[in-house]
Structure 1
């Protein structure tokens, strides 16, 4: 009998060069799912990404630490226990300018793709 569930024991660890840990539990890289991606992330102190304008909605839930978002010119800082939804086609920059690592869960719909994140150079 086919099971109606699947436990993820081996998330895809995305290679990075900036010290950020990305474990995709569900999504394009892990199971080919193009509708949603769910990733556990740890952003080290001092980490930042370039501005981007993704073609997907992104939900972020902060587990530990703080994370800074610059969204259409507004600076938003989230702490553990807080979450945010950022609508697709919104210009945003993610960073952790704080003294401790930030651990969080990110959910993207449709699933994250390097081709649809549109990071600026």
Structure 2
């Protein structure tokens, strides 16, 4: 089984854009979680991390998106980063059997800075990095 990006959706509510993805990853949650929640993991497929305090309220600075705060943190399941200028990114990881995971991703932002295609490419890099 290979990883797949099964669903990508974009919604606009006024000036707020919301991107949703469902990504199936044939790797256990314990393998996928560090890719979403550590500087080394995020740098491997998404962007360089200057600061990441892995706790609710912790500081986060993602090189391509700017500075913000960790607004949700449930170890092994949920990492949410709310960036001052780039909106809210939520990674929600779920177990799918013993050897696979499902990532439910949401990016809520103002303006036009992100696209469904850019996130799809990022998730393809993540799947490749995980060897899925």
TM-score (norm 2): 0.29
Please report the TM-score for the alignment, with normalisation by the length of structure 1: 0.31
The answer to which structure has the higher helix fraction is 2
Bigger Rg, which one: 1
